[in-house]
């Protein structure tokens, strides 16, 4: 771009210059300058690892969402393994497009796109003692939902009892900005696919049967996931 602009300027200035002299000098200088910039860029690129380049691109995808009801901050992508960044991948499946497949062993959630492709998201998944597998479906969905801890959780973690009547939506709410509630046979399973703002949780087993995606990934998945969407939880 610098070279193009410089050459254009040289043409504009050429009326008062000797034909072929001033414009030639400018072109040569611009060529040398452009070459130096290009070589410098290549040198910098050579010093950067592939992970650094991936993180630079991911920083754009996982930037802030200031227009949300509760503005969502950017993700510190330096705290994530790059393999968990959102990506369109080859994924052979017999499931219909739109189906969600959770792979707890590898900490990935896939949205089937069809033609052998899927959008892959890094996820946090259940702790070993709460792992489950099978088919479910999205029975309802909510933006900035109220979180009410189930009785079983309050029994295990009495400190959650203060939210027995519900914790209002917000950045500190465990369900985050968007939540998909999973059902089986018309009944809520107590499991969700929810939003998290903690990049260090991605790639770990930390929940009681739920699956968490970064808020920015849930903002991508949520509008493409209607109620009744099939969810497949693979065996760990």
How many whole angstroms separate alpha carbon 160 and alpha carbon 155?
9
Tell whether the model's pLDDT for residue 4 goes beyond 70. Answer: no
Residue 40 forms part of a structural domain:
yes
Residue 220 forms part of a structural domain:
yes
At residue 156, what are phi and psi to the nearest 5 degrees? -80, -35
- 152 and 94 together in one domain: yes
Find the domain containing 20 and state its range: 2-47
**pLDDT score at 47:** 59
Give me the number of domains the chain comprises.
Answer: 2
If residue 53 lies in a helix (H) or strand (E), which one and from where to where?
helix 50-61
Residue spans of beta strands (DSSP E) within the chain: 87-90, 100-103, 108-114, 117-122, 125-126, 134-143, 178-184, 187-196, 205-207, 211-214, 230-233
- 211 and 171 together in one domain: yes
Tell whether the model's pLDDT for residue 159 goes beyond 60. Answer: yes
Tell whether the model's pLDDT for residue 91 goes beyond 60. Answer: yes
Tell whether the model's pLDDT for residue 72 goes beyond 50. Answer: yes
CATH number, position 188: 2.40.440.10
CA atoms within 13 A on the CB side of 167: 15
- 39 and 138 together in one domain: no
How many whole angstroms separate alpha carbon 119 and alpha carbon 182?
20
User: Token pair of 48, please?
Assistant: 């950067």
Residue 63 forms part of a structural domain:
no
Of the pLDDT bands very low, low, confident and very high (cuts 50, 70, 90), residue 163 is very high
Residue 60 forms part of a structural domain:
no
Residue 223 forms part of a structural domain:
yes
- 93 and 182 together in one domain: yes
Most confident residue range from 40-44, 45-49, 134-138: 134-138
- 81 and 37 together in one domain: no
pTM comes to 0.78
- 118 and 21 together in one domain: no
**pLDDT score at 127:** 96
- 141 and 191 together in one domain: yes
């Amino acid at each position: 771009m610098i070279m193009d602009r410089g050459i254009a300027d040289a043409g504009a200035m050429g009326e008062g210059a000797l034909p072929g002299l001033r414009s030639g000098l400018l072109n040569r200088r611009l060529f040398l300058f452009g070459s130096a910039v290009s070589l410098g860029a290549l040198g910098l690129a050579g010093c950067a690892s592939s992970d650094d380049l991936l993180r630079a691109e991911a920083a754009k995808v996982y930037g802030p969402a200031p227009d949300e009801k509760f503005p969502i901050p950017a993700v510190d992508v330096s705290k994530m393994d790059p393999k968990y960044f959102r990506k369109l991948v080859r994924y052979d499946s017999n499931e219909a497009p739109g189906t969600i497949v959770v792979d707890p062993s590898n900490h990935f959630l896939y949205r089937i796109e069809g033609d052998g492709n899927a959008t892959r998201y890094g996820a946090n998944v259940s702790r070993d003692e709460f792992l489950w597998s099978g088919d479910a479906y999205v029975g309802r969905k909510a933006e900035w939902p109220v979180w009410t801890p189930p009785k079983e959780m309050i029994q295990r973690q009495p400190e959650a009892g203060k939210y027995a009547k519900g914790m209002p939506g917000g950045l500190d709410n465990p369900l985050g900005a968007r939540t998909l509630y999973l059902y089986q046979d018309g009944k809520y399973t107590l499991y969700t696919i929810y939003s998290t703002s903690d990049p260090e949780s991605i790639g770990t087993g930390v929940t009681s049967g739920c699956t968490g995606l970064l808020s920015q990934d849930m903002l991508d998945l949520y509008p493409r996931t209607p109620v009744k969407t099939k969810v497949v939880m693979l065996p760990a």
